């Protein structure tokens, strides 16, 4: 009798575990639209930054100490204060133009999402010449208070921005 009871308890615990895992997997899948929205907000903020405005960029990023940025100008910034200083320097360049994501691949977890893509478009260099942009990018988002916030951005270098 005891072994039947133990078996039923084990089966019950296993069933609950399977249901919880299935629910978490479905929740992650269902939030791909939320990640796509966060990506759209980031690229809208990036293009706004090209005009010198940073308000949207400040909204899409997490302000945590563990965020990282390795952008097209080089360097490796860690923590929101360093990342913000880099965005401020880029905004001051007023590069103009527009960059959009292409060929996105999205992996969504319950708390972290990774987006790999190409960034394609154009900017203006310091001499006023139009420069094509076609670089690889990886964007990392974390769910904070129910919203996807950027915690990492890594791109290839652009020669006209590299320091």
Task: Classify residue 127: in a domain, yes or no.
Answer: yes
> Cα–Cα distance between 89 and 135 in angstroms, integer?
20
Q: pLDDT tens across 75-129, in order?
A: 999 999 999 999 999 999 999 999 999 999 999 999 999 999 999 999 988 788 9
The encoded tokens of residue 28 equal 């992650």
pLDDT of residue 119: 98
Q: pLDDT tens across 33-81, in order?
A: 999 999 999 999 999 999 999 999 999 999 999 999 999 999 999 999 9
- The number of beta carbons lying within 10 Å of the beta carbon of residue 126 is 9
Q: State whether 3 and 69 are in the same domain.
A: no
> Cα–Cα distance between 154 and 107 in angstroms, integer?
16
Greater pLDDT, 23 or 42 = 42
Q: State whether 54 and 132 are in the same domain.
A: yes
Greater pLDDT, 153 or 15 = 153
pLDDT of residue 159: 86
Task: Classify residue 163: in a domain, yes or no.
Answer: no
The answer for 94, left when phi > 0, alpha when psi is -120 to 50, beta otherwise, is: left
Q: How confident is the model at residue 144 (pLDDT cuts 50, 70, 90)?
A: very high
The answer for 62, left when phi > 0, alpha when psi is -120 to 50, beta otherwise, is: beta
Range of the domain at 10: 1-30
Q: What is the mean pLDDT of residues 13-37?
A: 67
Greater pLDDT, 19 or 60 = 60
Q: State whether 133 and 53 are in the same domain.
A: yes
Strands 130-144 and 147-155: antiparallel
Q: State whether 136 and 102 are in the same domain.
A: yes
Task: Classify residue 161: in a domain, yes or no.
Answer: no
How many Cα atoms within 13 Å fall on the side-chain side of residue 90?
Answer: 28
> Cα–Cα distance between 155 and 34 in angstroms, integer?
22
Q: Which position has the token pair 């009798």?
A: 1
pLDDT of residue 12: 58
pLDDT of residue 161: 80
């Amino acid at each position: 009798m005891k072994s039947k009871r133990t078996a039923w308890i084990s089966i019950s615990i296993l069933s609950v575990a399977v249901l919880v895992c299935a629910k978490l997997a479905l929740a992650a899948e269902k939030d791909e639209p939320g990640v796509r929205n966060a990506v759209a907000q980031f690229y809208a903020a990036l293009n706004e930054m090209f005009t010198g405005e940073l308000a949207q960029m400040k909204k899409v990023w997490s302000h945590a100490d563990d965020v990282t940025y390795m952008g097209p100008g080089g360097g490796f910034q860690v923590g929101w204060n360093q990342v913000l200083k880099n965005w401020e320097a880029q905004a001051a360049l007023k590069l103009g133009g527009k960059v959009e994501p292409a060929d996105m691949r999205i992996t969504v977890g319950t708390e972290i999402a990774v987006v790999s893509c190409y960034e394609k478009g154009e900017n203006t260099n310091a001499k006023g010449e139009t420069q094509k942009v076609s670089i690889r990018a990886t964007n990392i988002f974390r769910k904070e208070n129910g919203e996807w916030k950027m915690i990492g951005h890594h791109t290839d270098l652009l020669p006209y921005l590299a320091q």
